[in-house]
Structure 1
Amino acid sequence: MELRVFTEPQQGATYDDLLAVAQAAEELGFGAFFRSDHYLHMSGDGLPGPTDAWTTLAGLARDTTSIRLGTLMTSGTFRHPGVLAIQVAQVDAMSGGRIEFGIGAGWFTQEHTAYGVPFPGTAERFERYAEQLELITGLWSTPVGERYEFAGRHYQLKDSPALPKPAQTTGRRGGPPVIIGGVGKRRTPALAAAFADEFNLPFVDEETTAAQFGRVRAAAEAIDRDPATITWSNALVLCVGKDEAEIQRRAAVIGRDVDELRVNGLTGTPEEVVEKIQRFEALGTQRLYLQTLDLADLDHLRLVASEVMPHV
């Protein structure tokens, strides 16, 4: 089981805050540093304000050396897909090929209103999302010297040189690995089967995990894709302590109830969370994204690295 660090900087974080976590994660042996792509806090005051996901990752590409970097999830509503393809390719090159590209349709209405970003209805967002996946991977996979064209309902490209190219070409359709996630029962599994190198489930229980993994596997088999070519992952809130007092203290800092977190998160003593990780592994989970909400508490990551990671 690979353990990755996942942050939510819209709650209030500077670039230096994120850099400290990313460098600690790299030093401690976590598999990757990921961040959300949001522009508005969801609780608290959000001070000092949000940071942009791809600006952050560009900085981390130069300020780290080996850890993989990515988004859960880049919002398809924020950037034109042609421009996003350029941004991700450039950051991948800046990192020496360490980027993983999580992308979703977007969902948080209030952040769009707060910053004047158009927010279409659900049906249109998913139409755009499907076109974005086709278009971005198409730009990356077009051979150098050839031209790319795309004629969709929402996006049209003509005579594109499809440059620059990412450093990586290991993704299913070329370029960095693509991560798709969510609990939708029809469109999400179909898109994951067609485009995803990794399928991720955020903040769901074991029963939901088993059911949705099954839907994605079935969708892959329906297009003659081996489900074993997909990496399977979950994201869970992290709240680990060496004893009950430390668990309670960490839960209080992030404003969560310990009993609720024990059900819905990855919470407890190292022994408790190892047991829960093993249950997810039995369902097929290969990676866990540890949602780390208190970015100042680097001892939290050190505890996981020393007392959990060696046992999973």
Structure 2
Amino acid sequence: MDLRIFTEPQQGATYDDLLAVAQATERLGFDAFFRSDHYLSMSRPGLPGPTDAWTTLAGLARETSRIRLGTLVTSVTFRHPGVLAVQVAGVDQMSGGRVELGIGAGWFAREHEAYGIPFPPKRFGMLTEQLEVVTGLWRTPVGETFSHAGEHYTLTDSPALPKPVQTAAVRDGVRLSGATAVPIIVGGNGPARTPALAARFAAEYNAAFPEIADIPAMFARVRAACEAIERPADDLVYSVALVLCVGADEAELARRAAAIGREPAELREHGVAGTVAEAVDRLGALREVGVERVYLQTLDLADLDHLELVAAEVAPQVS
């Protein structure tokens, strides 16, 4: 089971804070460092203010060497797909081919109001077209051009450059039939349209903070959507994002829960939380229902000892 560290910098973090976590992620043996793509805190003052997701990842690409880097998830409202394709390909080159793109329709209206970003009431069509444009640009052979005429975006005779340096998305040595070179992650809880998009475009489907009991049905819908377009359902990686809060004992757990403004009982119910043994049991139960990768939402970025504990005591029992 892959364990990835997932951060929420809009809640309050500098680039240096994120760098410390990313470098700890790499040093401790986790698979990847991911961050959200938001410009406004949901519940805290958020000082010193937001950092841009792709600007941050560009910096981290040059200051790490092994871990995968990506977003969970980039909002289609923030960037034109042509610009996004250039940005992601550039960061992929800067990282030596370690980038992944999580992408979604966006949901936080207030951050759009705060920064003057348009927030159309219907955005799923934008998401579909962004996936068509980004994958179309990356798949266009060098020397040829790409055009797209849609409801939301029009591109005419684009040279479709630059290309990512990743040459193929593979799993167990086999190229994935529906995937681009840069792995695309599609997530969400929708019962029909989201699974269909994942089947069509993604290398990975992610369920973000689901009820644990709902995971099998969510994965089953994605598998059915793959089968409907004759794509092997096992092409995709099936993942979840869950809050992380683990303590060596009850006192440490209570301290970590208080630091992120949560209750231990609630965290135990909804996250990878509790004692080391409880965290191992939760990850084992997730594996049994088909979860192959877990994004561990790490909310207290100053508590690197938390990551040390998980790396030393939890990860070896589930890897």
Name the TM tier (shorter chain). Answer: over 0.9
Q: Give the AA of the match of 1:278.
A: G
Give the secondary structure class of the aligned counterpart of 2:19: helix
- Aligned residue among 124, 127, 132 for 1:126: 124
Cα distance in 1 between the residues matched to 2:288 and 2:211? 13
Runs (5+) with no aligned partner, structure 1 = none
- Of 203-212 and 28-37, deviating more is 203-212
Do structure 1's residue 44 and structure 2's residue 35 form an aligned pair? no
Residue 225 of structure 1, aligned match among 225, 231, 253 = 231
Match runs of 1:1-312 below 5 Å: 1-122=1-122, 125-171=123-169, 172-312=178-318
TM-score, L = length of structure 1: 0.98
Deviations 1:227-255 (A, max 9, x none): 11000000000000000000000000000
Aligned-pair identity in percent equals 66
Post-superposition, which runs of at least 4 consecutive aligned residues in structure 1 deviate over 6 A?
none
Cα deviation for residue 43 of structure 1 reads 0.9
| 1:201-260 per-position Cα deviation (integer Å, ceiling 9, x unaligned) | 111122211111011110000000111100000000000000000000000000001111
Number of aligned residue pairs: 310
Deviations 1:98-139 (A, max 9, x none): 0011000111000000000000013xx000100000100000
Shift of residue 84, structure 1, vs aligned partner = 0.4
Are 1:90 and 1:164, in contact at CA under 8 Å, matched by a contact in 2? yes
Structure 1, residues 246-290: CA drift from partner, whole Å, max 9, x if none? 000000000001111110111111110110101110111000000
CA contact (8 A) 1:28 1:305 kept: yes
Any idea what the Cα deviations from partners look like across 1:149-174, whole Å, max 9, x if unmatched? 11111111111000000011324443
- Cα offset, 1:96, TM superposition: 0.2
Read off the aligned partner of 2:213 and give its amino acid letter.
Answer: E
Q: Deviations over 1:33-56 (max 9, x none)?
A: 000000000111111111000000
Distance of 1:207 and 1:147 partners within structure 2: 46
Unaligned stretches of 5+ in structure 2? 170-177
Residues in 1 aligned to 2:240 and 2:180: alpha-carbon distance in whole angstroms: 24
1:186 CA drift (Å): 1.1
In 2: Cα distance, 1:180 partner to 1:278 partner: 24
Alpha carbon RMSD of aligned pairs, Å? 0.7
Letter paired with 2:71: T
Letter in 1 for 2:128: A
Contact 2:179 2:203 in 1 (8 A): no
For 1:180 and 1:146, the matched residues in 2 are separated by 28
What residue in structure 1 maps to residue 175 of structure 2? none
Inter-partner Cα distance in structure 2 for 1:44 and 1:54 = 23
Asked whether the 8 Å contact 1:168–1:174 carries over to 2, the reply is: no
**Secondary structure of the equivalent of 1:101?**
strand
CA distance in 1, matches of 2:190, 2:11: 26
3-state DSSP class of the match of 1:119? coil
Shift of residue 175 of structure 1?
2.7
1:91 deviation in Å?
0.3
Q: Is the 8 A contact 1:148 1:158 kept in 2?
A: yes
